[in-house]
Each structure stands twice: as C-alpha cells, then as structure tokens.
C-alpha cells in the first residue's frame, strides 16, 4: 500500500514542523533547516516491497542533519537523485549528486543531506543484513557518488525505478527483485570504484575475507566467540577486532547479521518449513532474541515470510 504525506492543506506555520515529524518517522530523526524563505511545501510517498521501503520525496530547499550514531536505526539508505544539486556529508567524505546519480549511506551514523535547489529523490531504506549480503564491500562505497554516466549505472538506475514502480507482488518475488537490484548496484560500484588498492589494504581485506568465509561455513555453530574465531584464523583477538573495526563493524555483529540474512533467504526461498528450524540451522539458540532481531532487521516477523498451508508457525 502506498502512503502519501503532503503538506498542502496545512496552515503555512504548521507545514515545516509536520514535515520534520514525517521525515523522522519515515527515515530517521533529523534536525531540519529550510534553505529558502518561501512558505514550505513538500510531499512524500512511500511503499514497502518485501523488506525494502521505497520513498519518493520532494520539497523546497532543505537540509537534514543526523547528529548522532544509533544502531537502533539499522538500515542503509540508497538515494537516486532527480535534483539539480544535492550533497551528503558522512564522516570525512562529501558526496555531490546531480540528476540520475546514486549515493549509498548509513542511517545509523551522523550525516548531513543538503538540497539547496530543492529536494527530489527516490530513497530506499534497506535492512543492513540484506545490503551486506549482496554488497559485501559496502564500507568501501559509502557516500561515494555513483554518477549517471558510470558503467552499469544506467542499468542500476533503470532497475531501481522499475522495481519502485512495479505492481504489488508477493513477498518472495519482491525480495528476489530487491536482491537483483542490490547485485547490480554491487557490480556498478565495483566497476566505478574498484581500482588498485594499497598493499596494506589488500592484506587487511584478505584477512577479513578469510574470516568471513570461515564464519559463513560455520553459521550453525552457536559456540563461536571472538577468541575461538581468532584462533581458527591464526589471528589475535585484537587483530580480529581491528580488521572488522576498519569496516565499521565487529566480528560478532557481522556474524549475527549473516545468520539473520541466511534465515531470511531460507524462509523466502522455502528451504525451511519452520521458523525454529531456520533459526537453529543458522546458529540461533534463543528464539525470543532471534524473533526480536529479525523483526528489527527486516521490519516483518519471520513467520510472515512463511507461505503455503503446509508451513507451521513454530516460533
């Protein structure tokens, strides 16, 4: 179902406060600032497809500032710009976008998004585990502008727009479309920003990939700890923590996200007939914590992804 939030119909003095409430509820709480003296006007439409929200947002010139980190908002934002000029500042990186450009940034970290000539964009809110499943080098591409003329950018842009505008489908089909979109974006980013990496960065990435392969092969093991993972990969716990910190995460958080992603993929594909079996197969032993984490990550209960009369709601 598409939800519409217009400011027209409200008194002029109420519009900007209403807009701040709407944006905070739909995305993350921000401090907003008008960049023009005109009476504020804006509209936002939003639809959820699978576990991804697609929003079209338009407004007069405005700036949004996310002032603090908060892991409770565990989504990445992907923005397709239709603006003449737009900026996102996150960390030490400033991204400038024009019409047709794409930028990916992290909702859980501070950022400033500025639209000095007016806001017009499609914004996707995507659960962190889903992004990391399809774009494993996401930290490398954060807040880099994928320009409209970059290789494969046009394909990514077309697929994003088509997915956003597609008729409502089943959750499983929507998730397959979302996965395809993220796969294309991953290739487009790699093509645009792959390049040559310094030897130290290559070594660190090799170590991280080695650990990730080990974890993916051992998702069902509920006894994994920082110490046991480090020992299995011939690293000290300190080195293990350091190489994952360089990616903006921790090894246990990454493992937790991959377990959630594996459960999600298994339920969507029909590989699991019971939620409890999916959870146990991916290393979860506390079903209450699993259920809460799954709902927080994907916005829907795990049971909702079970379809067909023969499937049991086991959690």
Q: What is the pLDDT of residues 83-139, one digit of tens each?
A: 999 999 998 899 999 999 999 999 989 999 999 999 999 999 999 889 988 998 888
CA distances from 51 to 38, 76, 164, 177, 215 (A): 36, 12, 13, 11, 24
Q: pLDDT by residue (tens digit) across 75-84?
A: 999 999 999 9
Count CB neighbours of 67 within 10 A: 11
Residues 159-181: tens digit of each pLDDT = 999 999 988 778 888 888 999 99
- Residue 274's DSSP bridge partners are 312
Domains of the chain and any CATH numbers? 3-193 (2.60.120.10), 212-305 (1.10.10.60)
Backbone angles phi, psi at 277, to 5 degrees: -65, -40
Give the pLDDT confidence score for residue 180 in this predicted structure: 94
Pairing, β 3-6 against β 62-66: unpaired
Average pLDDT for residues 228-245, to the nearest whole number?
Answer: 92
Q: Residue 71's pLDDT is what? A: 59
d(CA 233, CA 243): 13
Instruction: Tell me how far apart the alpha carbons of residues 94 and 113 are, in angstroms, rounded to a whole number.
Output: 10
Of the pLDDT bands very low, low, confident and very high (cuts 50, 70, 90), residue 4 is confident
What percentage of residues in the chain have a pLDDT greater than 90?
61
């Amino acid at each position: 179902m598409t939800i519409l939030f217009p400011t027209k119909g409200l008194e002029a003095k109420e519009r900007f406060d209403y807009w701040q409430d709407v944006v905070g509820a739909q995305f993350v709480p921000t401090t907003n600032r008008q960049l023009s003296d005109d009476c504020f006007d804006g509209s936002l439409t939003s639809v959820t497809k699978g576990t991804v929200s697609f929003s079209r947002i338009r407004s007069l010139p405005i700036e949004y500032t996310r002032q603090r980190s908060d892991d409770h908002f565990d989504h990445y934002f992907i923005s397709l710009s239709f603006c003449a000029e737009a900026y996102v500042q996150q960390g030490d990186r400033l991204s400038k976008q024009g019409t047709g450009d794409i930028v990916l940034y992290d909702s859980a970290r501070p950022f400033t998004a500025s639209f000095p000539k007016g806001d017009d964009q499609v914004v996707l809110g995507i659960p962190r585990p889903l992004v990391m499943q399809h774009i494993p080098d996401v930290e490398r591409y954060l807040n880099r502008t994928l320009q409209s003329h970059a290789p494969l950018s046009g394909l990514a842009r077309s697929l994003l727009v088509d997915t956003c505008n597609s008729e409502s489908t089943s959750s499983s089909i929507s998730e397959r479309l979302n996965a395809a979109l993220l796969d294309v974006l991953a290739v487009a980013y790699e093509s645009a920003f792959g390049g040559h990496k310094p030897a130290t960065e290559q070594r660190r990435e090799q170590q991280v990939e080695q650990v990730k392969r080990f974890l993916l092969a051992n998702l069902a093991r509920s006894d994994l700890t920082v110490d046991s993972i480090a020992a299995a990969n011939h690293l000290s716990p300190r080195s293990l923590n350091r190489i994952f910190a360089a990616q903006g995460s921790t090894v246990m958080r990454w493992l937790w996200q991959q377990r959630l992603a594996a459960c999600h993929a298994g339920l969507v594909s029909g590989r699991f007939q019971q939620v409890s079996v999916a959870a146990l197969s991916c290393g979860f032993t506390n079903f209450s914590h699993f259920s809460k984490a799954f709902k927080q990550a994907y916005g829907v209960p795990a049971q909702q992804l079970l379809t067909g009369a023969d499937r049991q709601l086991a959690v």
